[in-house]
Amino acid sequence: MLAIVCPGQGSQTPGFLTDWLEVDGVRDHLSALSEITGRDLIAHGTVSDEETIKDTAVAQPLIVAAGLVTARALFGAQLPAGAVLAGHSVGEITASALAGALGENDAMSFVRTRANAMAEAAAATPTGMAAVLGGDPDEVLAKLEELGLTPANANGGGQTVAAGTLEQLETLVANPPAKARVIPLKVAGAFHTSHMAPAVGVLEELSKTLAPRAPAQLLLSNFDGAPVANGEANLGSLVAQVSRPVRWDLCMETLAAQGVTGLLELSPAGTLVGLARRGLKGVKTLALKTPEDLGAARDFVAEHTAN
């Protein structure tokens, strides 16, 4: 069984879409998505610098668009039957569009509004996120609670992402849990925490104008790792996800329980493959980073969708 997974914020790097523009249809597809988001996604994926694409209002539409265009380059208009989809944080919007739970226009409208509202919320207080690698899980959570930080992403594979004020994060870096490393992340706010609460109301209003649909393929939720029940429930979860923790560890548990044998990560790929190698032992992985990976990706898909 094949899993198709979509990365979240922080996975983008300067120029990561440059080579993709040489693939037939990608430039036109990115141009159309740029019109919806009001962002020049071609420029941001090719020539914009690291500081520019770190901006939440740029990063989120860019990452979702990258997943959509690389998926089309690989699969065309139809994903493999029987594949299961999941996305991490903003990548859950990508996965929802690919699974058919949101139309592409609705997905890009949603991420545009989400990105702007989260950027505005992040500007209210200097906040950020940091990955905590290793350490005893209970001791890690106790340290975060002691410092007033939120375990915003439970990523599995010995990784928890802490979120809170920059002052709280600086204290964590200076005094990490025993046998753990703390790595500040290139994001502009404490996502998936109460700091993002103002963005929830904005998205609730937007959701009234969208047309959610039942997913055509199995789609997992960041909330509890379970398959989403229907389009309305999925959209409601996408709204709530902004201010509640991402449970990628539970998504990986469901992938294992479903019998997934191969995990393919769409561009900008690498992060979720890394987590899978630690948390999904025995599952083969492939990161679709550049067009040079397309041939190997097609072989990988065929291997893990064979009857």
Concatenated DSSP letters for 82-125?
A: T-EEEESTTHHHHHHHHHTSS-HHHHHHHHHHHHHHHHHHHHHS
The CA-based dihedral angle spanning residues 194, 190, 66, 113, taken in that order and rounded to the nearest 10 degrees: 40
Angle between helices 197-207 and 231-241 (to 10 degrees): 150
Among candidate residues 11, 34, 89, 221, the one labeled active-site is 89
Count helices and strands in the chain by DSSP H and E runs: 13, 8
Cα–Cα distance, 286 to 305 (Å, whole number)? 14
What tokens were used for 299? 């072989």
89 as an active site residue: the answer is yes
Among candidate residues 29, 88, 192, 195, the one labeled active-site is 192
Cα–Cα distance, 157 to 249 (Å, whole number)? 8
192 as an active site residue: the answer is yes
**Alpha carbon distances (Å) from 77 to 69, 74, 212:** 11, 9, 19
Active site residues: 89, 192
